[in-house]
Amino acid sequence: MSRGIERGEIFSQNEDYTDFLGGVSDGILCGDDLLAHYGGGPGACSRYMAAMRERAAARARAIYCYLCREQGGVGGTELMEELKINQSAVSKLISKGRALLGAIN
């Protein structure tokens, strides 16, 4: 992840993430609402939140977990159940989301 930030590849040329973060600042915190609001359409949440090794999906999951936990007050257990991942994965995603949002600001 840090190599991507150093090379400027994370969020630098993708307007979707700018829109994604704009929705977050507008107070849309639910994954389904956020992704549907910005053109994800039906099934967008399951597509982005699925455990896949695609960079865009991984970044979306990280930001989603960070915002849900830190700003939305959602518990780690709820995120574990929703994303079907273990507690350590939730913790790593929250840390990654914090770093990604810090790199943008």
| CATH code for the domain defined by 2-104 | 1.10.1750
Please write the tens of the pLDDT for every residue from 48-80: 566 666 777 788 888 888 888 887 888 889 888
> Global pTM?
0.57
Angle 87-104/76-83 helices, nearest 10 degrees? 100
Q: What is the pLDDT of residue 46?
A: 59
* Residue 50 dihedral angles phi and psi, to the nearest 5°: -65, 150
